[in-house]
A and B are shown apart, each in its own frame.
Chain A
Amino acid sequence: MDPVIELENLSKCYGDFKAVDDLNLTIQKGEVFGLLGPNGAGKSTTILMMLGLTEPSGGSVKVCGLDATRHPVEVKRKVGYLPEDVGFYDDLTGFENLLFTARLNGQSDQQAYPKAAELLNKVGLGAHAEKKVGKYSRGMRQRLGLADVLVKDPEVIILDEPTLGIDPKGVKELLELILHLSREKGLTVLLSSHHLHQVQQICTRVGLFVTGKLIASGDVESLSSQLIAKHPYLIEAKIGDEFQDPVLRENLSKIPGVEEVTLLAEGLLHIGCSADNTAAIANAIMASGAQLTHLSKKTYGLDDIYQRYFENTTSHEVDQSS
């Protein structure tokens, strides 16, 4: 595996504020990496530094083996970047906008025309190619943005909040398109988002980014084990009102792997285990004379990971202030 993007001790300060704090990250070729974090976490700043659009205060950025701060033009030749809330020349058609980008990348008309037409068809804008971009909808602009990124034949594409402001159906289509195109051309993709579900859908690896620091990275499963080490499995059971609490608890704790039993309000039971024993738990509940109405195994999505993390940070911040 050869690394395409290497960030080493990267930091960026605005006055006293540290937007990016000592960041280390390596992205391999062919990965779809999701940069995940709340607004203002420093995702965009990191991306800007990768393209040489802003200078880092410390550390180094290497993209395709080139220093992005020293040789931004060479880097930009290989990297397609879709800025957050991308803008086009409204008085030109979608096709003309693509041609302009292609020409800026040193392509002759002979190369650029067929390519632009092909890409427009691929992103589903073939029918609107001759329409002025001013009349495009938000989703269409974003798809045009994707075509605009691909027109230069990049090795890496960096998408900053590509799904912002698009309706759910459009998001799904766009993400599928990104995945499809990246596989087809063997691209490395870096996309930033604060929407967990979307990132979860298409990313092979995710980095969680908070207040300028990468707090965890890996695929979704390894993230959940990194961040929620308490119990790998959580089983949620709903039982009827009439039961004897101590008996139930005793029965449950006999099952190997059960570590913690919490009774929440209205007969809602949370059982933390180290292994998946759903069937045994069901039997135990029945045996203790309770009525089982609902039993489900909770798996951790990114959402929970996210939430979990922020619970921690808030408490952490409270600790600091007190």
Chain B
Amino acid sequence: MIFINVILKIPLPMKLINQAKHYIAGISLPSLSLHQTKTQAKTNELSSKVTSPFWVIVNKEVADHIRSWRLVILVAIITIACAGSLITGLMHFKDAVSANAPEGSFFFLKLFSASGSGLPSFVVFISFLGPLLGIGLGFDAINSEQNRGTMARVLSQPLYRDQWLNAKFAGGLIVISALFTGLTLIFMSIGIVKIGIPPTPEEFLRILIFTFVTICYVGFWMNLSILFSVKFKQAATSALCTIAVWLFITVFYGIIVNFIANATAPGQFATPDQMVRYQQFITNLMRVVPSQLYSDATTTLLMPSIRSLGPLTTEQVVGTVPSPLPLGQSLLLVWAQMTGLVLATVSCFALAYYSFMRREVRSR
């Protein structure tokens, strides 16, 4: 409690800047890569443990990420955005909660999806800034090594090429996981203090699964940017390409689907069957892109009242008890979405492997 109060007294951004300064000065830096970097280290103080090459690289990647300005800036942006959405959530908490709503028991989840006064909710912020973070962590993973001339040196050490690629991904994923888990937990703790209602175990589980889905989603974007970093020699090219894909998916894809929807809309006198099929066709089109899968998954997880992601007929709704779905049912509903996200990540990986494995490793 004391810890939380301390955070609340100092404005969050200030604290972050202080933290960033600390990191840069290397004072509070956890010794991730090199325990002691002094040549005069005493031999008996050193560990005699042999680490596998994979973890050696993961350690180095994580240390590099933490020390980089890029991550500091991205984290600062995300934290500020989340602080903003937290304030909105708290301000509009009263409006969002009504005494006789069916999901009345899920007060706490409202905090994550509540929006108002022009500021979007936590979920919307994360779904927007998360990809940016993923792209930021991955877009120069391989080509910067090539440009620095370190690729030939590292790959002439006894390790498999896929280990290197995997370690790069794992390093980024560890940073992302730590960041989002931390952010969500801080968000929750401030929420508990402010609204005075602790989350029920189910709510807590839902939030944890939401965090997991978020990590998968950001992992997809990181993987895509790693794929481009394998494909393109220049870091700038790969960054631009990934951002182009991201913009296309978030902005233009929706417009295109709208266009198709307008063009293929059935007439006024279409049968209900046709209407349903049309609706399903459009939804499936939307679901091709991972951002739609993510938003489907998160809304279902955070709003237990959602019982279907497609069209429902009146016969199906008739006689239902207006109660929220239990966690298991919500999960079942978004299982396909989560599988789709993981699949997208895995296929990016496969493509990156394919172009990296048999490539000739020249110096620079």
Contact = CB atoms under 8 A, between A and B. Distances in A.
Interface of A: 44, 48, 51, 53-55, 73-74, 76-77, 79-81, 83-91, 93, 95-96, 99-101, 103-111, 113-114, 116-117, 120, 126, 129-130, 148, 152, 160
A55 B360 CA distance: 8
Given A110-B47, A120-B39, A84 B158 contact: no
B358 A104 contact: no
Contacts of B156: 51, 53, 76, 79-81, 83
Contacts of A104: 53, 56-57, 154, 157-159
Contacts of A77: 158
Contacts of B46: 108-110, 113
A55 B152 CA distance: 15
Contacts of B320: none
Interface string B138-180: 0000000000111111111111100000000000000000000
Contacts of A88: 148-150, 153
Given A101-B153, A108-B46, A130-B37, 16 more contacts: A51-B156, A53-B155, A53-B156, A55-B358, A76-B157, A81-B152, A81-B153, A81-B156, A83-B152, A85-B363, A86-B153, A86-B363, A88-B153, A91-B64, A104-B157, A130-B39
Interface of B is mostly: loop
B94 interface: no
Contact of B43 (A55, A81, A107, A110): A110
Contacts of A55: 358
B342 to A, nearest CB: 29
Interface in B339-364: 358, 360-364
B50 A107 contact: yes
A91 B67 contact: yes
B35 interface: yes
Contact of A48 (B34, B56, B362): B362
B41 A113 contact: yes
Contacts of B64: 91
A113 B48 CA distance: 11
Given A44-B362, A130-B37, A89 B157 contact: no
B148 A90 contact: yes
A56 to B, nearest CB: 11
Contacts of B33: 96, 100
B105 to A, nearest CB: 51
Interface of B: 33-41, 43, 46-53, 56-57, 60, 64, 67, 148-160, 358, 360-364
B136 to A, nearest CB: 17
B158 A73 contact: yes
16 contacts: A76-B159, A79-B156, A86-B363, A87-B149, A93-B37, A95-B39, A100-B60, A103-B53, A105-B158, A106-B52, A108-B47, A110-B47, A110-B48, A111-B48, A129-B39, A130-B37
A81 B152 CA distance: 9
A119 to B, nearest CB: 11
Most buried by A among B39, B51, B64, B363: B39
Given A73-B160, A129-B39, A83 B149 contact: yes
B25 to A, nearest CB: 15
Contacts of A83: 149, 152-153, 156, 363
Contacts of B50: 106-108
Contacts of B41: 113
Nearest to A104: B157
A152 B154 CA distance: 12
Contacts of A81: 152-153, 156
Nearest to B42: A113
Contacts of B149: 83, 85-88
Contacts of B67: 91
Given A113-B41, A152-B157, A89 B150 contact: yes
A104 B158 CA distance: 7
B158 A99 contact: no
Nearest to B145: A87
Contacts of A108: 46-50
A214 to B, nearest CB: 21
A53 B148 contact: no
B361 A54 contact: yes
A6 B328 CA distance: 63
Contact of A73 (B47, B152, B159, B363): B159
B39 A87 contact: no
Contact of B363 (A74, A84, A111, A114): A84
Q: 7 nearest interchain CB pairs?
A: A87-B149, A83-B363, A83-B152, A54-B360, A109-B46, A81-B156, A77-B158
Contacts of A96: 33-34, 37
B37 A109 contact: no
